[in-house]
A and B are shown apart, each in its own frame.
Chain A
Amino acid sequence: MTDPLRRRGLFEWILRRGRDPDAEVGDELDSHLALRIEALEAAGLGPAEARAEALRRFGDFAATRDALARDRRRRAQRRDLRDVVSGWVTGLRLVGRQAVLAPGFAAVWIGTLAAAVGLATAVFALVDGILLRPLAYPDSDRLVTLLTVDSAGGRYPVVSADNWNDWRRENRSLAAAAIYRSDRGALAGDGDPLRITVTTAPPELFQTVRPRLRTGRPYSESETAARSPVVVLAEGLWKQLGGERRSGPWRVTVDGEEREVIGVVAAGQAFPRGTDAWVPYRHRQIGGQARNNLNWLAVGRLADGLTPAVAEADLGRVAAQIRAADPAGLYSWGVGVEPLQDTMTAEARELLLLLQGAVLLVLLVACANLAAASLARGLARTREVAVRIALGAGRGAVLRQTIGEHLVLGLVGGAAGGALAWGLIRTVPGLLGDELPRLDNVRLDLRVLTFAVLTAGFSGLATGILPALQAAGAAPARILGGGRGTVRGGSRAGRWLVTGEIAVALLLVTGAGLLIESLRQVLRQPLGFTTNGVVTAELFLAGARYRDDPGQVTAYWDAALGAVRAAPGVAGAGLANWTPLGTGGSSFIEIEGQDAPNAGAEYRAVGEGYFGALAIPLLAGRDFASGDEPGAPRVAIVNRAFAERYWPGQDPLGRRLRTPGMEQAPAGADLPWLTVVGIVGDIRHWGYEAPMNPEVFVPWRQVPVFSRSLTLVARSNRSAGDLVPVVRERLLTIDPATPADVRPLAARADGLLASRRFTMTVLTAFAVLALALTAVGVYGVLSFSVAQRTPEFAVRAALGADPRRLVRWVVSDGFRLVALGCAAGALAAFLFGSAVRSLVFGVSVGDPTVLLTGVAVVGGAGLLAAWLPARRAARVAPMEVLRRD
Chain B
Amino acid sequence: MSPADPSLPLLKGTLELLLLKALQWGPMHGFALSQWLEERSRGEMSFDDSALYHALHRLEGRGAISGSWAVTENGRKARYYRLTAAGTRRLRDEADTWTRYARLVGRILALQP
A residues near B, CB below 8 A? 27-29, 31-32, 34-36, 38-39, 57-61, 63-64, 67-68, 71-72, 75, 391-392
Contact = CB atoms under 8 A, between A and B. Distances in A.
A59 B57 contact: no
Contacts, number: 66
Given A31-B78, A38-B74, A75 B54 contact: no
B79 A31 contact: yes
Given A27-B77, A35-B78, A392-B85, A64 B61 contact: no
Classify the secondary structure of B's interface with A.
helix
B30 A59 contact: no
A61 B48 CA distance: 10
Contacts of A63: 50
Given A31-B29, A60-B50, 5 more contacts: A35-B74, A61-B50, A64-B50, A64-B53, A75-B61
Interface in B1-59: 29-32, 34-35, 48-51, 53-54, 57-58
A392 B53 CA distance: 22
A71 B48 contact: no
Interface in B56-87: 57-58, 61, 63, 66-67, 72, 74, 76-79, 84-86
A96 B9 CA distance: 55
B85 A35 contact: no
Given A64-B54, A68-B54, A75-B61, A35 B48 contact: no
Nearest to A63: B50
Contact of B57 (A31, A58, A60, A68): A68
Interface of B: 29-32, 34-35, 48-51, 53-54, 57-58, 61, 63, 66-67, 72, 74, 76-79, 84-86
Contacts of B67: 28
Most interface-central of B57, B84, B85 (chain A CB within 10 A): B57
A391 B34 CA distance: 29
A385 to B, nearest CB: 18
B30 A32 contact: yes
B77 A71 contact: no
For the complex of A and B, 8 pairs with smallest distance between CB atoms: A59-B48, A59-B50, A64-B50, A35-B31, A58-B49, A28-B79, A31-B78, A75-B61
Contacts of A34: 76
A71 B60 CA distance: 11
A277 B61 CA distance: 76
A26 to B, nearest CB: 11
B53 A35 contact: no
Nearest to A61: B50
Contact of A71 (B50, B61, B66, B76): B61
Contact of B85 (A29, A68, A391): A391
21 contacts: A28-B30, A28-B53, A31-B30, A31-B78, A32-B30, A32-B31, A32-B78, A34-B76, A35-B31, A35-B72, A36-B31, A36-B34, A57-B49, A59-B49, A63-B50, A68-B53, A68-B57, A71-B61, A392-B63, A392-B66, A392-B84
Contacts of A68: 53-54, 57
A85 to B, nearest CB: 17
A58 B61 contact: no
A68 B48 CA distance: 15
Given A71-B57, A392-B84, A58 B48 contact: yes
Most interface-central of A29, A35, A63 (chain B CB within 10 A): A35
B61 A32 contact: no
